[in-house]
Structure 1
């Protein structure tokens, strides 16, 4: 699990570096603008609402997976 997480972080860093190099676009510059802050706030709200709906089923499924792994 940690290997996948670290790989994902490295992929995000590489993607942001590629955006800066090829398109001269920086996430920090985008977040400094009013529209950028509003967009980030909107995305954060969408993710929080989505997580509140799917959290319980995901935890239930995860517990079942762990039970299955321990029993086999």
Structure 2
């Protein structure tokens, strides 16, 4: 199954400047999850939840949409 990774990182130079970061010792990046075909970070977190559930010996995993989209 394709997990749509990696998603691009964009340097947040405007934010760095705004909060007073000078030079390249500290860099801040935004991770752009909007380019995923689903347009969401949710598949990435769902994979991790399923992995740890299986590792911990669970035989079933129940989830919900979180925002009320009726299972979309």
Bigger strand fraction: 2
User: TM-score by structure 1 length?
Assistant: 0.29
User: TM-score by structure 2 length?
Assistant: 0.29
Bigger helix fraction: 1
Higher relative contact order (CA 8 A, sep 6+): 2
